[in-house]
Amino acid sequence: MRAAIETSLDFNFIQYPVSMERVLKTLHMRTVRYQQLPMDLRRKVDNSDALTIPLPDKTSAEGFAIFVKDYSWIPGSRIRFSLAHELAHLVLPEYQNHPMDERACEFFAANFLAPTCLILREGYSEVSNGSISC
C-alpha cells in the first residue's frame, strides 16, 4: 500500500477518481489499443486485459508501452484497474519474476485507485479482510 500512496504523492495524483490517462501521460508512457497490435503481440495479450512491453533502447517509464483491450463492452473501471496494474509492474521492480508478482500488482492497483485511508476518511468505519462496513 505504501508504494501506491507514495506514487500518488510523488506525482501529485491526489484527485479521485484517478485519471489513468493523466497518470500515464505524466509518466510519458504510451498506451496502445489492442486493435492496433500486430498479430504476434495480440496472441500474447489474448488472455489479459493489458500488457506492458519494453520499448527498444529505453530504460525509464518512458521506455514502456501499455497495450490495453478497450472494447466498448469492457467497463471503464476495469480498464483503469488494468492500467494501474500494469503501472505497478514498473513501480514495483522488486516483484519482477517473483511468485507474488501479479498479486502485488493487483494490491498496488487497488490501493492506487482507492486508498484505504481515503475510503476511511469518506465515512466508512471499518476495513477488515478485504470488506468494508459502515
The model's pLDDT over 80-122, given as tens digits with 9 standing for 90+, comes to 999 999 999 888 878 777 788 889 999 999 989 988 776 666 6
Please state the φ and ψ torsions of residue 55, each to the nearest 5 degrees. Answer: -90, 150
Give yes or no for a contact between 93 and 105, defined as CB atoms under 8 angstroms apart. Answer: no
Identify the helix (H) or strand (E) that includes residue 110: helix 101-113
The residue with greater pLDDT, 30 or 124, is 30
Residue 110, CA distances (Å) to 38, 59, 84 in order = 30, 26, 8
The beta strands (E) that lie in the chain are given as 30-33, 50-54, 64-68, 126-128, 131-133
Residue 106 has what pLDDT? 92
Task: Please count the residues of the chain.
Answer: 134
pLDDT at 127 exceeding the cut of 60: no
The residue with greater pLDDT, 103 or 6, is 103
